Structure 1
Amino acid sequence: MKQFIVGIFLFVTSGCADLVEERQGTAIEVVPVTYSLQLNIKNNDVKAAKQKLDDFVEQHWSMVSNQPVTLTWNSKKGQKLSKDYLQYLISLGLDREKLSLGKQQYGTDERAFDIKIDVMKHSAIVPLCDYYRLDQSAQKRSEGCFAETNRWISMTNPEKPLEE
């Protein structure tokens, strides 16, 4: 009889326990985003090409100063300008290890250019999450991942928490 009462007690108390939902993680995609500028040096106007490079670097300075930069050339004029511009970037304080210089590999670009600058950064794409809602049984059901999404956004670039 005692076992029967203990069994009933356990059955009744376990029926009142809250349902603990498993924590849902979020699906995160890390994608490379490349910012690029291709220039043709027209009429040997190297000064105008350098000014366009300066404008590009100024506009994307937060990436240029932290991410790898690639200078690619496809002509003698482009080779000279890219070498000079590489030295200019080093004089601005950029790390030589993050700068690369090279000739265009044939077949990689359809359009010819004299000089090209590329800056690639990685961005985390996290899903947008809905608010919690109550279903028919008045239990909270998570339709989203708000806390996880914000955590991943803050972890993407911890050295730049206020960028953008």
Structure 2
Amino acid sequence: MVRRLPVLQNSAPEDAAAAERPKGQWIAIGAGFVFSFWLPLALVAVWLGRTLAGGILDSGDPEAVAQAGAGARAAYAAALVVPALLSFGFACWAGGAVVGRFGGSSGARESAWAATLAALLAAIVAALGGGFGSWPVAILTAMVLAGLGSLFGWLGGRWGLRRRPT
């Protein structure tokens, strides 16, 4: 005969505090998580993008850039941009997963809002720091990051919701 011992499930006071926290706070917490996940990933993405782009076109030689065809310039731009976008998308997914898993009453919608807030704050900081050539480029970048962030944040939130204990 197999004996089974009862498992006591005590809920910690931190769990109760997290469950009572307003959804707006989870949006801000999620945006902070997105930034903290994105910064190291962005460093790797910049290195990877420069490595990939260096194999396509030598950006240090202005004459080579001027003589390059449209396809080579497009491949060069894609090699620089795609790793950065992938790192941001993964950071939004991871931040959304944290909000979805531990966010109390928050869910995928708040995860998407957290990633969107992080995208807009990143675009504002880059624009104020002179990271964009013009305001239309800044607005387009903010829109692309917000769309990508909200999608991946929502997906991460859905994933985190499925991992909640029952």
Per the normalisation by structure 2, the TM-score is 0.30
- Structure with greater strand percent: 1
Per the normalisation by structure 1, the TM-score is 0.30
Name the larger-Rg structure.
1
- Structure with greater helix percent: 2
